[in-house]
Homo-oligomer: A and B are copies of this chain.
Amino acid sequence: MPVESRDRLLAAAVEFIARTGVGDLSLRRLAAGIGTSHRMLIYHFGSKEGLLVEVVRAVEERQRAALADLHLDHGGSIAETIRAIWRRLADPALWPHERLFFELYGQALQKRPGTTGLLDGIVDDWLDLNVTLAERLGVPADTARQHARLGLAVIRGLLLDLLATGDRAGTDAAVEAFIATYETGTHAPTDTPAPVRPSGRGHGGEEAGPADG
């Protein structure tokens, strides 16, 4: 099979790039890092951009694979499902690939050639998936879509937080606060929020922080 060694190279390349970043990537350094020559990378992938396209595709694929089995056997509550997803994604073993994901996301937003394909289904694919799941629970499609979108933002936002701060406990607590939203029946009125225990049910309110300018 002609593509066998190519696949091995690609896997090694993704792993290396996850470690070192894609920003200052050079074919020669990459080749040296995975035990080949830059000549071979050009041979198998045609060009640097050709390689990048395949790396992006591999990252997308890994993204889906990381949660594919989780979605199926979530016999428990919504709360448990969210917890399971977060537990899986917050695993430090995945951090290098998640850093790479966000780095590629940033480059794709700036239209770096080869990376823009990452944006195609970066939201909608997950929404479709989650809406399907939500509808099984009896949530109407339009409402489900909003909350799927919100949940996706929460997970990604907290992952960004976790990768920057390393504060697993703090982000875990924020996830619990989000989960509480879906399982508590007691919410405080808008202007006089009621205090709650960090991992208990119900919560007080206060507003969100900014992100950028």
Partner of A161, one of B98, B123, B187: B123
- In angstroms, how far is the closest chain B Cβ from the Cβ of A162? 9
Would B149 and A171 count as touching, CB distance under 8 A? yes
> Helix, strand, loop or mixed for chain A's interface?
helix
Q: How far is the CA of A153 from the CA of B204 in the complex (A)?
A: 17
User: Digit string of A112-149 for contact with B (CB within 8 Å is 1, else 0)?
Assistant: 10000001001110110111011001111011111111
Contact A151:B107 (CB < 8 A) given known A123-B161, A164-B123: no
Residues of B within 8 A of A129 (CB): 209
Partner-contacting stretch, out of A3-11, A28-36, A39-47, A62-70: A62-70
Would A185 and B182 count as touching, CB distance under 8 A? no
Most interface-central of A77, A103, A138, A150 (chain B CB within 10 A) = A150
Which 5 A-B residue pairings sit nearest by Cβ, starting from the closest?
A66-B213, A151-B208, A153-B157, A134-B206, A21-B110
Would B161 and A209 count as touching, CB distance under 8 A? no
For this chain, the copies found in one complex come to 2
Q: How far is the CA of A152 from the CA of B170 in the complex (A)?
A: 13
Q: How many residues of A contact B (CB 8 A)?
A: 111
Q: How far is the CA of A124 from the CA of B167 in the complex (A)?
A: 11
- A73 contacts chain B at the CB level, 8 A cutoff: no
Partner of A63, one of B109, B161, B176, B210: B210
Would A101 and B205 count as touching, CB distance under 8 A? no
Would B103 and A144 count as touching, CB distance under 8 A? no
User: Digit string of A158-189 for contact with B (CB within 8 Å is 1, else 0)?
Assistant: 11110111010011011011100111111101
Which A residues are closer than 8 A to B by beta carbons? 20-24, 59, 62-67, 74, 77-79, 81-82, 85-86, 89, 94, 97-112, 119, 122-124, 126-127, 129-131, 133-134, 137-140, 142-161, 163-165, 167, 170-171, 173-174, 176-178, 181-187, 189-193, 195-198, 203-213
- In angstroms, how far is the closest chain B Cβ from the Cβ of A16? 12
Most interface-central of A148, A156, A163, A206 (chain B CB within 10 A) = A206
Contact A190:B78 (CB < 8 A) given known A66-B212, A110-B20, A211-B159: yes
